[in-house]
Amino acid sequence: MPVRIGFIPFRRQMLEQQLAEMMAVFPTLGIAKAILIGDMVSGDYSPTSSIDFIFVHDTDRPFGRRADFFSYHIGSQVGMTAQVYTPAEFAELQDTLPALYQACKQGRVVFDA
């Protein structure tokens, strides 16, 4: 399917506006840290670009269910993905888990309580 000329800048603008709205509610959700990763950091936008985060959040939910909390509490007009680590997991794994290490190295901290 062809993409309209000028759609990528429009998508970038939509994502940036949505990110600002999301960040306004971070303090109310108990987030310790939010790291933006993916297309918004690399600047490589496409029609399917989403807002991708790593969250550090004190939770007792199983790893696979943690992102559900954020999907429910953060309204989004665009796609959003989240990987959620407890503070202890993040401290332990940020230098040893390769994917998390790369995300921390290349990502952008957008919230740090």
1, part of any domain:
no
State the pTM of this model.
Answer: 0.90
In the structure, what pLDDT confidence band is assigned to residue 83 with cuts at 50, 70 and 90? very high
34, part of any domain:
yes
Class of residue 105 by CB neighbours under 10 A (exposed 0-12, middle 13-18, buried 19+): exposed
Kindly report the CATH number assigned to the domain that includes residue 25: 3.30.460
For the chain, the three-class secondary structure string (H helix, E strand, C coil) is CCCCCCHHHHHHHHHHHHHHHHHHHHHHHCEEEEEEECHHHHCCCCCCCCEEEEEEECCCCCHHHHHHHHHHHCCCCCCEEEEEECHHHHHHHCCCCHHHHHHHHHCEEEEEC
The whole-number average pLDDT for the span 73-79 is: 83
Could you tell me the maximum CA-CA distance found in the chain, to the nearest angstrom? 46
- Domains identified in the chain, total number: 1
99, part of any domain:
yes
The whole-number average pLDDT for the span 45-60 is: 94
68, part of any domain:
yes
Report the distance separating Cα 80 and Cα 39, nearest Å: 12
Look up tokens 């970038």; give the residue.
Answer: 12
Give the range of the structural domain holding residue 86, as residue numbers without chain letter: 7-112
Dihedral, 75, 15, 109, 59 alpha carbons, nearest 10: 20
The whole-number average pLDDT for the span 28-37 is: 96
Beta-carbon-side half-sphere exposure of residue 55 (alpha carbons within 13 Å): 25
